[in-house]
Structures are given as structure tokens and as C-alpha cells.
A and B are shown apart, each in its own frame.
Chain A
Amino acid sequence: MRRSRSLRGGAAAAAAFAVALPLLFFAAGAPGADIEAGRKKAEVCAACHGPSGNSSNPVIPSLAGQPAQFISMQLYQFREGNRKDAQMTPLAANLSNADMNDLAAFFAAQTPAAPSHKSDPANTAAGPKLTQQFNCVQCHGPRLLGQQHIPRIAGQQYDYLRTQLRAFKAKTRADFDGNMSAATEPLNDKDIEVLADYISGLVTP
């Protein structure tokens, strides 16, 4: 089709002079956001989420190395009241969009620690099939490392994962686009146990 060919030509020309800078800021995950400013703003987070966002509390999620867009999206959801939590709701209430972008940049830049959770060998054996069957890998990726606004769940805290899966199923946790509500609908309690136990023990790169 002639039109789409000329469009592609135009796009290629645009790409030719729009090179390094934008690609660099994409690589950082949260364009324009300030990691150092985020580090200062994140001091209050460490009390629960651990130093550098590596949690050692099974009910509190690790934030280190999460996709920046996931962090900013969740902070937004807490501030707007779409996602509710006794600790997080008041903390997010006074954050600006810029604060959220800085915090996201900081946590995305931290290195995730090796998981402390030891999975039951039976669940380690059953897990991969379940993550296929229930479509976890479709959005979270083949190694469950997340992308864009979708979190890395590999190596995430066990109790936290279990609680979130139950909450999605009960439709009490805010869902970005309906995908998690749909994905958790067919899960039974045993599935949730196996998935949380297996995924929590997965080593992150």
C-alpha cells in the first residue's frame, strides 16, 4: 500500500536524526527521573522494604531491580486510592508525580538480592507447568522478570505473592487492565500455594 510505504519512509527519516539521547533515556527506564533524588526520597521506604529495596520480611515486597514503570504505577495507584494498604496509602498520599518517577528510577537501579526463600522441591517441579498453564509467563515474561508496568515476581517474597494472588482473585487488589483478575480466576488455593512457593524461590539474574 502506497500510503504505508511513504509513512515508513518518513518514520525512518525521523529515526535517522533522533538517535542517541532518547535511546539513552529509554534505557534508564524512567526518563528524566533522578536516581540520586530518588535515593534520598527512598530513605523512609527502607524501614519496611529493606536497604536498597531488598526486603527480608515475607509480607513486604522487594522493590530492588523492579521495572521503573511498575514502581511509579503502583505508587500512583496507592495515591489515587485505586490500590489500598494501611502503610502505603498514607505514604503515597503526599507524593508528587516527580517524586514517584524519582523513586521508581532509584529502585529500578538497585540490584536484587538472591532470594532467601527455599521452595518445596515438589513445587519447584510442578511450578513451571503452572506458570505456563495459568499464563503467568505471558506478561511477566519467560523468566518472570517483568517488563514495563509488570513486576518481576521471580524471587519476590512468598507471603506477599500469596496475598496478592488471593487479592486479585477476590478482586480487592487494583488491576491495571483486567489481566490479573482474569488470570487468577481459575486458581484454587493449592495452585496459589504452589505458584507462590515456586516463584518466590526463583533466582533473579
Chain B
Amino acid sequence: MSPVSIRCLVSALACAGLIAPAAAQAPAAPPSWKQGMTPEQEKSTLHPFAPNMTGRPASELPLDKLKVPDGFKVEVWADGVPEARSLALGDKGTVFVSNRIGKNVYAVVDRDGKREVKTLLKGLNTPNGVAFSKGTLYVAERDRITRYDGIEGKLDNPPEAKVVVDGLDPQNQPGHFWKFLAMGPDGKLYYNVGAPGNIVMPGYFQASISRVDPRTGVVENYAQGVRNSVGFDWNPKTKQLWFTDNGRDWLGEDSPSDELNVAKRMGENFGYPYCHQGDTLDPEFGKHRSCKDFTPPVLKLGPHVASLGMRFYTGKMFPAEYRDNVFVARHGSWNRNTKQGYDIYRVVLSAQGKVVKAEPFLTGFLIDEKADPPMWGRPVDVLVMKDGSMLFSDDYNGILYRISYKK
């Protein structure tokens, strides 16, 4: 390994700054999604898929391809929500929808069965995380978390942002710089800081899930070794934190798997960048390490499926066997020649909270696993509504769908 690439391990960004003036002929840092390729993979044509920021009207999509189990129904709940990402539900029924590439947060209001999409907040910096608690909307931007109190009474005239915590991205990090956000049962806001690249040595607050007390602004590092979690929720029975984590790229078609993890307490390490999927040492960072030092996942969600949003199903509309199941939005693979994912995945737990079964629940977005692009839609987050139905977002088309059940 060259001295330059050793420096890159410490911080990809610092590395770019260090080498530029010193050695103009040294290769520049590759785009973060290409980082970690082997020499044999350099000719690969695999690439991430970008959303259609202008969205696509539901009337132009092959909605009849979507499949759900017998008795369930899937329909478009709202379209025209550009790059719909994370979801949060207000006490009065407002559905808040975030952007990752866009800069807006939307509020979708249901009035007598008709949905009105309002652009609630504009000009934010990568506002991927939204959470609602006790009348307040919290938004996680790239570098800060803010609050908007009493938001549901002010949808047409939202208040100024109040900062809960800032300085969350002091180095303008590359790689995974967007944040997921959720309110924990302890009244603290949980958010992730992703790894600053595909496979790099993270800083202390990177590749982690942190929490901040909105009353005091005090931050704690809750879980480490988490490459990039874009979904978490608390088990309604145990109150433990469950979260998805996206596995690294360029380690092969079937390796490593995304993870579904449980943090039983503060301070656990889930392996990144040393150990993947609980049992696979990284070829570079895993040397001299043991996977036994890290908490393994409770379920492997599949290689390169981009497992994003996840929630426990706490509603009463679905049949009893769906109660307290975990639903995971698998955004779908790009770093794989044969594509997979692009579905809503169902994870069934025993009374003791052990995973007993996992299977695709909603399918049909994936059309041709060898095509480019292979899909016509991509699920990002799921949300259980008050009536027990479930919404999910699709950033590729800017659409929210509703899944309901009737005997």
C-alpha cells in the first residue's frame, strides 16, 4: 500500500487535501462510490441509480405489476412528492416526507380522501431525516438537527428552525453524509452518521448511531461500527433499538449481506470496517481482527439490496400474525450484476423477539434483473398509519403508496 492510500484511510477528505498541492501527478481520490474496488473491478460498468427529481405521474407507471399477499391491496396514496425519502407521521395525520438530494421537506395532508402535497420547508442541506414527537417536527440535515414546534398548526406558515445540535459534519465528509432520524422511547433523538466512503476507517462519530437529548443538546455515541444505517425503530416489546445497515460494495456479487441489527445497550460495535455481516472479515481492515469482537446481525437482509427504512408493524388492520413484524424497504442493488431487492421485506419475530422467518412482502418494481435500470420504482421508507395501513415512499418516482388489508 502506498503512503498516500494509508493517509486516505484516516480520512478520505483530508487525503484529497493533502495530496493535491504536494503531488499533482498522484491519482485523485475516486468518487466515493467507486472507492474500494479491486484492480479487476476497474472495468466494471456497475453504477448507482439516480432518482427522477421531477418525478413521474402515477398514471404513467405499470402499477399493476406490484404484488402483495392475498387480502392485501397496494395503491398510490400521493404522487408529485419529488424524491420522497423518509417518512414521519404527525399527531393530526400529517405525513412528513424528506428529501436527500433535493432540499425540501413536504407535508402531505389527507382531506376527505384527497391528498394535498405542500412544500413545507425549502432550501435545507440534505434534509434526509424527519421525526415527529409531541407536536414538534425534527429534521436532520447534513450538518445539524432542527426543530419546528407546533408544526401541524402552521403548515402554511412554518416557524423558523430552532437548532437542536449543529456541527455534525465539520469536514463536509464524502460518502454517506445524509442522516436518518427517529425519536427514541427515552425522549432522545437518534441519528446516524455514515461512513465517509465505501470502505474507509471512520472517525469517532462516523459510522455510528448517535443520540441527542433535545432538551439539553447533549450528544452521545450510541452504537459504533455501523457503515450506513438509513432506518431504525424500537421493538415495541423490548424497547431495544433495531436498525438496518448497508453492507460495503465491491466485495463480490453475494458478499457481504446488509444487516438487521439490534442494539441491546449503548456502546456496542457492529463491525464496520473490520467485520461484515457478523462473520466476514474485511480483506484489508479485517487483518488481525476477529468477528467475535463485534455484535453480529440478527438477520442478513441480502447482499447489496440497500436496506433502508424499517418499522415495526404496530397497527391492527393487518392479520394478527403481522403484529410486531419488521417491515424493511429494500431500495435495491446497484453493486451487483444480477439485481435484487426493490421490495418491501417482511421479518417475522417470535414472542421472544427472535427472527423466525423473512420474505418479500411487496414485489414488482424489479422488471429485468440484468437491465440498466432494472426497476421502475424504489422503496425508501415505511410508515404505519393510525388506521393500521402502511405507507411507503418511492424516491425514484416521487410517489407514496398505501398498503391495506381487508378480510
Contact = CB atoms under 8 A, between A and B. Distances in A.
Interface in A155-191: 176-179, 182-183, 185-186, 188
A47 interface: no
B174 interface: yes
Contact of A182 (B32, B52, B65): B32
Q: How large is the interface on B (under 10, 10 to 19, 20 to 34, 35 or more residues)?
A: 35 or more
B363 A31 contact: no
Interface string A55-93: 000000000000001001101110011100000000000
B82 A135 contact: no
B214 interface: no
B82 to A, nearest CB: 7
The number of chain A residues touching the other chain, given as a range, is 35 or more
Contacts of B47: 139, 147-148
Contact of A82 (B28, B60, B103, B373): B103
A11 B34 contact: no
A169 to B, nearest CB: 11
A134 B340 contact: no
A138 B43 CA distance: 9
Contact of B376 (A10, A22, A149): A22
B302 interface: yes
Interface string B22-40: 0011011111111000000
Interface string B353-377: 0000011100110111101010010
A125 interface: no
A6 B300 CA distance: 14
Contacts of A139: 31, 47
Interface in A120-139: 133-135, 138-139
A76 B371 contact: no
Contacts of A98: 54, 57
Contacts, number: 145
Contact of A176 (B27, B50, B56, B103): B50
A32 B49 contact: no
A4 B302 contact: yes
B80 interface: yes
Contact of B367 (A14, A185, A188): A14
Interface in B245-268: 254, 257
Interface string B285-316: 00000000000000010110000000000000
Contacts of B340: 4, 7-8, 11
A81 B101 CA distance: 13
B19 interface: yes
B184 interface: no
B31 A179 contact: yes
A46 interface: no
Interface in B184-220: none
A76 B54 contact: yes
Contacts of B364: 14, 18
Nearest to A180: B31
A8 to B, nearest CB: 6
Interface string B366-407: 111101010010000000000000000000001000000000
Given A14-B65, A22-B367, 8 more contacts: A11-B363, A22-B62, A72-B54, A76-B53, A76-B54, A148-B50, A183-B28, A186-B28
25 contacts: A1-B257, A4-B254, A7-B359, A8-B340, A10-B360, A10-B363, A11-B369, A14-B367, A23-B371, A26-B376, A31-B376, A69-B50, A72-B54, A75-B54, A80-B102, A97-B82, A98-B57, A134-B28, A138-B31, A139-B47, A148-B49, A148-B50, A176-B101, A182-B29, A185-B20
